[in-house]
Amino acid sequence: MSRHKGRTRRGRLFAAALGVTVMAAAASVWTAQADSVGGAHTHVSAPDAQRQDQVKKVSEDIAHASDRGARGVNITIDDGPDPVWTPQVLRLLKENGVRATFCMVGTQAQAYPKLVKAVVADGHRLCDHTIAHNTSMDSRPESYQSQQILDAERMITKASGGVRPQYYRAPGGAFTPYSRKLAASRGMRPLGWNVDSKDFERPGADTMVATVKSEISNGPTILFHDAGGDRSQTLTALREVLPWLKQQGYSFGFPVR
């Protein structure tokens, strides 16, 4: 997957809007173990180490397709959960009978576990979107990538009450062979997108809707956000996009695993 345009600026905007900080590794109880990815040593929390044998490895290829086939669409919601916008997104999805994939930032999940549980209760799926939302992940050491992915996995799983994320989405699409292999070894399929609604830039709901309509032929996985600032335009766009997709004969599913 190619590098997302303007992702450095987007990363700065996200950090400024949410005040997300990287949690120090010393804040958690860690167990060092040799990782199967390239023979490197990574750090996972003790509970995760105990569950390692229960995790089923998935493909490390970046997923774009839908499990509903050629006329399937995957709605993906990034960067939350957020106490203002996530409940509104959930209500809108429920009103339209749509299930989505929520790519959550670990610290946000830890801060709002009730929202994580609400996402799961409504039948949506979870996705690991790291801790710091660093769009330069692909330029950082493997140890940093491991910490970002595995800490977020642990936080999301704990916040959900034990439901594990089924996907890993690199911030800004900054995947590396190492991060994809590591995520897959933890049962999280790397997740890309085909249509970027551009809602993070807040270009106006009409522009977002036009983008989705013109680019849906590129593939089924559509990117929206429920955090990182005012998401009112996203809600307005979704109110139009979801019924329109149904009218075009699309059904809503999840990314293939």
Render pLDDT for 155-177 as a digit per residue (tens, 0 to 9). 999 999 999 999 999 999 999 99
Percent of the chain with pLDDT over 70: 79
The 10s digit of each residue's pLDDT in 13-51 is 454 445 443 333 333 333 333 233 433 333 333 344 334
pLDDT for 34 equals: 29
Does residue 70 carry a pLDDT above 60? yes
Does residue 55 carry a pLDDT above 90? no
pLDDT for 74 equals: 98
Q: Where are the domains of the chain?
A: 7-18+52-253
Contact 236, 92 (CB under 8 A): no
Q: What is the pairing mode between strands 221-225 and 101-104? A: unpaired
For domain 7-18+52-253, which architecture applies? Alpha-Beta Barrel (3.20)
230 included as an active-site residue = no
pLDDT for 108 equals: 98
* pLDDT band at residue 225 under the 50/70/90 scheme: very high
Q: What is the pairing mode between strands 221-225 and 72-78? A: parallel
| Range with the poorest average pLDDT among 39-53, 103-117, 131-145 | 39-53
Residues 6+ positions from 210 with CB-CB distance below 8 Å: none
Q: Name the active-site residue from 35, 78, 151, 196.
A: 78
Q: Name the active-site residue from 79, 196, 225, 226.
A: 225
Instruction: State both tokens at 157.
Output: 């799983």
Does residue 151 carry a pLDDT above 60? yes
CA distance 119 to 122: 5
Residue 172 Cα distances to 28, 83, 119, 131, angstroms: 27, 23, 23, 13
78 included as an active-site residue = yes
